[in-house]
Every structure is written in structure tokens, then in C-alpha cells.
Amino acid sequence: MKTAIVLLSDPKNGSEESLGRLFNALAAAYDFKQGGDDVQVYFQGAGTRWAGELIKPEHPAHALYNAVKDKVAGVSCGCTDVFGAAEGVTRSGLDLIKENLVPGTSGLPSLQKLVRSGYNVLTF
């Protein structure tokens, strides 16, 4: 089984819903990883802002993030630009993904490529 998890929730929202979406996305990645499945996590949209938050040891999802960090494919480059997340993404050391050259952007992950490669796509 192949699964791509796309995290779109915004940490700036400051709501329990945003944290809940993050937690459940990472928990799903952990579940698939523990089951030996091919799983990849993508930070996209306002979710690119999580990259800088999750590296903080005091963040409530820090330990879970570290448990699945090896399954993080990267961060949308274009969304990083749009949502002002470049500093946090740089600190995180995650790769910027720009394979889908959407006009007017520096590129985003290609969901079409993932689906064609047999990935089920889950969004949080």
C-alpha cells in the first residue's frame, strides 16, 4: 500500500482543530510506517508553516514528528513563498518540492504524479 499524506492546516490559526489535524496526519503516517507501508508526508498550503513549529522540542507533536520525519517527502516550495514559511522551512532542513510548475509559483508537489504512481492521497 502507498499513501501520501498532505497537511494543509495552518498553525497560525492557533485552534485545537489545526493541532488536531496535524496530530492525526502524523499519527496516520506513524500507523502506516509501523505497518511497513510506503507513506510520504507533504506540507502544503498554510501547512508549510508547521515545518518551523515541529522542530521546537516543546511543541506537543515534536516527538511524533521525529518518529515519522524520515517519511516527510518535503514542503511545497510555492506554498512556502505564498505563506511566508521560508525561514521555518530552512531551519527544519526539509526539502522544497517544486515538480508541479504552477504558473506564477516556484512549484508545488504533483498530486497527479502521486496518484499515477499508485498513492492514495489523504488530506488533513
> What domain range is 20 assigned to?
2-123
Q: Where does 44-119 show beta strands of DSSP type E?
A: 72-76, 96-97
Q: Which three cell numbers stand for residue 39?
A: 507513506
Task: Check: CB of residue 26 under 8 Å from CB of residue 2.
Answer: no
CATH number at residue 49: 3.40.1260.10
User: What pLDDT tens digit does each residue of the chain (124 aa) get?
Assistant: 999 999 999 999 878 999 999 999 999 999 999 999 999 999 999 999 999 999 999 999 999 999 999 999 999 999 999 999 999 999 999 999 999 999 999 999 999 999 999 999 999 9
Structural domains counted in the chain:
1
Q: Which three cell numbers stand for residue 17?
A: 482543530
